[in-house]
Chains A and B, each alone.
Chain A
Amino acid sequence: MGRKPNAMTVRGVKNWLEAPAAGIAERGGKLNLLRGAVARVTTPLLPDDYLHLANPLWSARELRGRVVDVRKETADSATLVIKPGWGFDFRYEPGQYIGIGILVEGRWHWRSYSLTSPPDWNDPRYGKKVIAIAVKAMPEGFLSSHLVNGVSAGTVVRLAAPQGAFVLPSPPPPKVLFLTAGSGITPVMSMLRAMDRRDVVTDVVHIHSARTAEDVMFAAELDALHARHPGFVSHVHLTGEKGKFATETLDELYPDWRERQTWACGPLGMLDEIEKHWHEAGLESALHVERFEVERSATTEGGTVTFGKSGRTVTVDGATTLLEAGESAGVQLPFGCRMGICQTCVVTLSSGHARDLRNGTERFEGEKVQTCISAAAGDCTLEV
């Protein structure tokens, strides 16, 4: 009630004009009206589908970006600076991650990486707004190795909108503890840079574990921050010399750790230990944890399949198709031929791995799978 009739009409016309581009409404921005209007003539395509032939970044149908710089951080890690194309939302929160798709031998591969750049980062070196991720090459990680060693400036990548709940609130809490190891430092780097830029570095302790001094990512920057902000302590723990960082030593090192809001990111074993420690201290609510999907080849057969929407789960062997798994759990999955030819059963694999039973091809998180001819390769989640 109370809305003026002409406001309704205006909105109606606007909606009608935008309708053909409705699918990309959230990222279309102000251009959406024009996009929708032109799409009346270019239907079933969007004007974007023609424009991106001239410049791959001129399309909001799918988020894209261009790598503008690759900077080595350590021997096996690098920072990728990416200039996103149309429709990218720069209002992400420090600590969030993005999905990145990269083309290798004709196939797009998707992985998620934490953003290391602070939100709304305007680096004069690159002109316009850019974002950055840092990637550490995993020994068996085919894509991470490719990103560190095989990607050059100019490469076009696909992006998925920033997401994740491992974020730093604004304003940050007065006392903060960051516990990171290896590439677990990346989301925290975004938080530190955001605090630095906003000049709200409170009382922050950062304990970071790495094997040797050469393995410490962003070492120089951590030192610089340390020097610039009296409230910031960078505590680097070298496991090659001293062994694993023992959580128990916190009482000695930073006896006020219980008063701090803690963000932890690193290998699963470390996080489990931290969670246990905080649980015993009754401080779960002060702990924020980010678990990285470890990039590996699916070596296991079968596993627990979770159906995202209903939350139902079922444990199956490596010969049971995902479609059968769903049916045995009472989940209605779409299907047609049940033999891999009609594509009716295609759903997105939101986490884990699956295997195509016809040829053994692996499917990764973010890829679409035909449930009638795919089986779980380890635990996985389907977006149905």
Chain B
Amino acid sequence: MAITDIRAFAHLAAEDVETLGQELDTLRRSVEQSLGERDARYIRRTIAAQRALELAARAVLFGSRNRWAWMTGTAMLSVAKIIENMELGHNISHGQWDWMNDPEIHSTNWEWDMTGPSAQWRRAHNYSHHTYTNVLGKDEDLGFGILRMTRDEPWRPVHLVQPVANIVLAAAFEWGIALHDWTIEKELTGVSRYQVFSEPNKAFARKITRQVAKDFLLYPAVTGPAFLSTLKANATANLIRNLWAYAVIFCGHFPDGAEKFTEEQLEGETPGEWYLRQMLGSANFSAGPVMGFMSGNLSYQIEHHLFPDLPSNRYPEVAVGVRGLCEKYDLPYTTGSLGKQYLLAFRTIHKLALPDRFLRRTADDAPETSSERKFAGVTLHPGSENRPWSIDPATGKRRGLRWAMHEAKIALRAKAEHEKEVLRGAERTLRAKARQEQDLLRRARHALRKSHTSYSA
């Protein structure tokens, strides 16, 4: 079972969690207080550049019957759509730029170029997902209701198709998100599924009609004879954007080390524990400025989950502070290359398609989900209730979760080693026993044959 006691898991005392929370608050305030013209210029320029790029792409696609024009136009449109989706739509809808007080760059007004209405997405994402991050049964983003992403969730035969479902989800990501948010919107607003002309349904229908008509009918029609090639270009750009968004999201939430939590953890959760949950539940991937920009700075998923409404261009600098705190409290900071993080997620998707009996680990010590029970029997210092951590006598450094993880790994390995040793011993005994018996048998046979000969003689 996933984490039910985050303090025990993190090897922190209540007051440590509180100071950690305060330090994060301070970090937040220092960024907020320094927001100004430079940040405003950043988002305005991003918007202008994105629109210019999209216009240019659409213009080039008028000539899309030419192969080179098609390729250039499609590539430009894909990049434009990615920026629009990640750095603009996602971040502005989070209220990251609300501090500017600009009605056109405000979370309450922004509409993005994706099938689902922004308002529905905001509700599902900003509220459900960001408040209840990685809490089983509360955060519907855990597998988006189709994939089993943790062995805390019981296996069902439908999970066998997971490898295929994964590909379909990746290719049609915007539709997956749209349907997902639509369902949650209806749930949150208490609209019954049988009420056909409900507000969420109307908003949904209006938005998808406009989106589909634009990319697959009207815009291609505007380009006249290039109708078909433009349509293909638009479809390709949407596909590329979908794949990219999917990859970024999966790398932020499903690599090993992004922990899951039970609903018990939510009860009476303090602000410090909330921060801690965000920190332990997310994963980063390493990115330079360009990759960071193209992922809407979601390569800093940990920072984003701690401060979802701080401007994305500040995440790199926030990350320095967060890493420092992880160092100080000896907490893990889950990150890796994009390829590695995706492969880890990919492994989980395929592994968990199988029923539990094929899985070696339990939900307490699996790569994709672990819990405080993982450390049972590996507490190597005489721990007290309020000081779960100890100080390394040699370096004077705090021994917290990272250290415990390390010890648990060693302990697990030792345990496995030991089991293997026992097994090997048993095998040896068995083999010796078999040899003995064989020997006995041979001797008996020999004796028998001898008596036989003597008899016949």
- B 104-142 to A, binary, CB cutoff 8 A, 1 in contact else 0: 101110011100001000110011001100000000000
- B 209-233 to A, binary, CB cutoff 8 A, 1 in contact else 0: 0110110001100100000000000
Q: Which residues of chain B are near A53, meaning CB under 8 Å? A: 48, 51-52
| Docked-complex contact A41 and B222, CB < 8 angstroms | yes
| Docked-complex contact A367 and B37, CB < 8 angstroms | no
| Docked-complex contact B106 and A368, CB < 8 angstroms | yes
| Docked-complex contact B131 and A41, CB < 8 angstroms | no
Distance of A336 Cα from B94 Cα, bound (Å): 13
| Docked-complex contact A343 and B130, CB < 8 angstroms | no
The 6 residue pairs across chains A and B that have the minimum distance between CB atoms: A106-B40, A336-B127, A44-B111, A342-B126, A343-B95, A108-B101
Size category, B interface: 35 or more
A105 in contact (CB, < 8 A): yes
Within 8 A of A (CB), among B243-257: none
B42 CB, nearest partner CB in chain A, Å: 9
Known A49-B104, A110-B101, A336-B127; further 11 A-B contacts with Cβ < 8 A: A62-B104, A106-B39, A107-B36, A339-B274, A341-B126, A343-B98, A343-B126, A344-B123, A358-B29, A359-B28, A368-B98
Name B residues whose Cβ lies closer than 8 Å to a Cβ of A: 25, 28-29, 32-33, 35-41, 48, 51-52, 55, 93-95, 98-104, 106-108, 111-113, 118, 122-123, 126-127, 130-131, 207, 210-211, 213-214, 218-219, 222, 271, 274, 308-309
Q: Which residues of chain A are near B113, meaning CB under 8 Å? A: 44
| Docked-complex contact B101 and A359, CB < 8 angstroms | no
B93 CB, nearest partner CB in chain A, Å: 8
- For chain A, the count of residues having a C-beta within 8 Å of the partner chain is 36
Given contacts A53-B52, A106-B41, A346-B108, contact A336 B123 (CB under 8 A): yes
| Docked-complex contact A339 and B271, CB < 8 angstroms | yes
| Docked-complex contact A44 and B210, CB < 8 angstroms | yes
What are 5 pairs between A and B in contact, CB < 8 Å?
Answer: A41-B218, A41-B219, A44-B112, A53-B51, A61-B104
Q: Which residues of chain B are near A368, meaning CB under 8 Å? A: 98, 101, 106, 108
Q: Which residues of chain B are near A42, meaning CB under 8 Å? A: 214
Cross-interface CB contact of B214 among A40, A106, A158, A342, cutoff 8 Å: A40
In the complex, what residue of chain A is closest to B278 when comparing beta carbons? Answer: A341
B264 CB, nearest partner CB in chain A, Å: 19
| Docked-complex contact A40 and B104, CB < 8 angstroms | no
A182 in contact (CB, < 8 A): no
A-B contact count (CB 8 A): 110
Q: Which residues of chain B are near A103, meaning CB under 8 Å? A: 40
A337 in contact (CB, < 8 A): yes
In the complex, what residue of chain A is closest to B131 when comparing beta carbons? Answer: A337
Distance of A375 Cα from B126 Cα, bound (Å): 22
Within 8 A of B (CB), among A300-352: 336-337, 339-344, 346
A330 CB, nearest partner CB in chain B, Å: 20
| Docked-complex contact A337 and B127, CB < 8 angstroms | yes
A299 in contact (CB, < 8 A): no
Within 8 A of B (CB), among A104-148: 105-110
| Docked-complex contact B274 and A49, CB < 8 angstroms | no
Distance of A108 Cα from B41 Cα, bound (Å): 13
Distance of A108 Cα from B103 Cα, bound (Å): 9
Q: Which residues of chain A are near B103, meaning CB under 8 Å? A: 62, 158
A20 in contact (CB, < 8 A): yes
Q: Which residues of chain B are near A49, meaning CB under 8 Å? A: 51, 104
B311 CB, nearest partner CB in chain A, Å: 10
| Docked-complex contact B95 and A43, CB < 8 angstroms | no
Distance of A20 Cα from B131 Cα, bound (Å): 33
Considering residues A41, A101, A109, which has the most beta carbons from chain B within 10 angstroms of its beta carbon?
Answer: A41
Within 8 A of B (CB), among A24-71: 40-45, 49-50, 53, 61-62
| Docked-complex contact B127 and A346, CB < 8 angstroms | no
| Docked-complex contact B55 and A50, CB < 8 angstroms | yes
Cross-interface CB contact of B94 among A43, A101, A343, cutoff 8 Å: A343
In the complex, what residue of chain A is closest to B44 when comparing beta carbons? Answer: A106
Considering residues A44, A45, A53, which has the most beta carbons from chain B within 10 angstroms of its beta carbon?
Answer: A44
| Docked-complex contact A336 and B131, CB < 8 angstroms | yes
Considering residues B39, B48, B52, B95, which has the most beta carbons from chain A within 10 angstroms of its beta carbon?
Answer: B95
Given contacts A108-B101, A109-B101, A346-B107, contact A359 B127 (CB under 8 A): no
A301 CB, nearest partner CB in chain B, Å: 19
| Docked-complex contact B130 and A342, CB < 8 angstroms | yes
Distance of A339 Cα from B118 Cα, bound (Å): 21
| Docked-complex contact A108 and B131, CB < 8 angstroms | no
Q: Which residues of chain B are near A43, meaning CB under 8 Å? A: 210-211, 214
Q: Which residues of chain A are near B99, meaning CB under 8 Å? A: 107
A249 in contact (CB, < 8 A): no
Q: Which residues of chain A are near B271, meaning CB under 8 Å? A: 339
Distance of A40 Cα from B206 Cα, bound (Å): 12
Distance of A101 Cα from B100 Cα, bound (Å): 11
In the complex, what residue of chain A is closest to B128 when comparing beta carbons? Answer: A336
| Docked-complex contact A344 and B210, CB < 8 angstroms | no
Q: Which residues of chain A are near B25, meaning CB under 8 Å? A: 358
| Docked-complex contact A343 and B218, CB < 8 angstroms | no
A214 CB, nearest partner CB in chain B, Å: 35
A361 in contact (CB, < 8 A): yes
Given contacts A44-B111, A110-B101, contact A337 B214 (CB under 8 A): no
Distance of A190 Cα from B99 Cα, bound (Å): 34
| Docked-complex contact B101 and A41, CB < 8 angstroms | no
| Docked-complex contact A107 and B100, CB < 8 angstroms | yes
Q: Which residues of chain A are near B48, meaning CB under 8 Å? A: 53
| Docked-complex contact A107 and B214, CB < 8 angstroms | no
Distance of A134 Cα from B95 Cα, bound (Å): 34
Distance of A80 Cα from B52 Cα, bound (Å): 33
| Docked-complex contact B309 and A361, CB < 8 angstroms | no
| Docked-complex contact A40 and B35, CB < 8 angstroms | no
Cross-interface CB contact of A20 among B28, B41, B210, cutoff 8 Å: B210
B270 CB, nearest partner CB in chain A, Å: 11
Distance of A103 Cα from B100 Cα, bound (Å): 9
Distance of A107 Cα from B40 Cα, bound (Å): 8
| Docked-complex contact B210 and A341, CB < 8 angstroms | no
Q: Which residues of chain A are near B95, meaning CB under 8 Å? A: 343, 346, 370
Q: Which residues of chain A are near B108, meaning CB under 8 Å? A: 343, 346, 368
A147 CB, nearest partner CB in chain B, Å: 16
| Docked-complex contact A341 and B104, CB < 8 angstroms | no
| Docked-complex contact A40 and B274, CB < 8 angstroms | no
Given contacts A110-B101, A339-B131, A342-B126, contact A50 B36 (CB under 8 A): no
A346 CB, nearest partner CB in chain B, Å: 6
| Docked-complex contact B36 and A105, CB < 8 angstroms | yes
Within 8 A of B (CB), among A217-265: none
Q: Which residues of chain B are near A343, meaning CB under 8 Å? A: 93-95, 98, 107-108, 122, 126, 309
In the complex, what residue of chain B is closest to A363 when comparing beta carbons? Answer: B101
Distance of A337 Cα from B133 Cα, bound (Å): 12
Considering residues B52, B103, B122, B211, which has the most beta carbons from chain A within 10 angstroms of its beta carbon?
Answer: B103
- A 182-202 to B, binary, CB cutoff 8 A, 1 in contact else 0: 000000000000000000000
| Docked-complex contact B309 and A107, CB < 8 angstroms | no
Within 8 A of B (CB), among A153-175: 158
Distance of A343 Cα from B103 Cα, bound (Å): 15
In the complex, what residue of chain A is closest to B305 when comparing beta carbons? Answer: A341
